[in-house]
């Protein structure tokens, strides 16, 4: 079981499952969307994910027509993304998790955009 929330706390969620795999993505879109060096994500089953409070604060942004980036429009925290053609899988932004076990990342995508000062075991 996993719980999390956005920065302002208006949006809270629960995941009725375990996180098995986490991914770091350094692509430029993720850097811009997070305002940081990388996005830390996990693919989850949408059917086990529930927004427990604050659904009305969520907004979807389509930077590319196929991919929704879902964030709290009050505080701007990115919560998850999903592909329109794969709506059963959401990619949770793991910095918003407050309860539950998060395994170390097993994959680093777009590592060519990783800053030189950042070292991580492959």
List contacts with Zn ion (CB under 5 A). Answer: 6, 8, 10, 25, 27, 30, 72, 74-75
CB closer to Zn ion, 10 vs 15:
10
- Smallest separation (angstroms) from Zn ion to the CB of 10: 5
| Contact between residue 58 and residue 72 where contact means Cβ atoms under 8 Å apart | yes
CB closer to Zn ion, 2 vs 6:
6
- Smallest separation (angstroms) from Zn ion to the CB of 116: 19
Integer CA distances (angstroms), 20 to 1, 38, 89, 102, 107, in order: 12, 19, 14, 8, 12
What is the C-alpha to C-alpha distance for residues 52 and 5, in angstroms, rounded to an integer?
10
- Smallest separation (angstroms) from Zn ion to the CB of 58: 9
């Amino acid at each position: 079981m996993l719980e999390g929330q956005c920065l302002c706390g208006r949006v809270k969620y629960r995941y009725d499952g375990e996180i098995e795999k986490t991914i770091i993505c350094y692509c430029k879109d993720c850097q811009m969307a997070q305002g940081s060096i990388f996005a830390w994500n996990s693919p989850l089953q949408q059917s086990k994910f529930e927004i427990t409070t604050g659904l009305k604060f969520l907004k979807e942004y389509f930077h590319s027509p196929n991919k929704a980036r879902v964030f709290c429009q009050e505080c701007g925290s990115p919560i998850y993304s999903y592909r329109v053609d794969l709506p059963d899988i959401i990619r949770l932004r793991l910095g918003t998790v407050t309860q539950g076990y998060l395994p170390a990342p097993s994959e680093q995508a777009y590592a060519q955009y990783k800053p030189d000062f950042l070292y991580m075991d492959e």
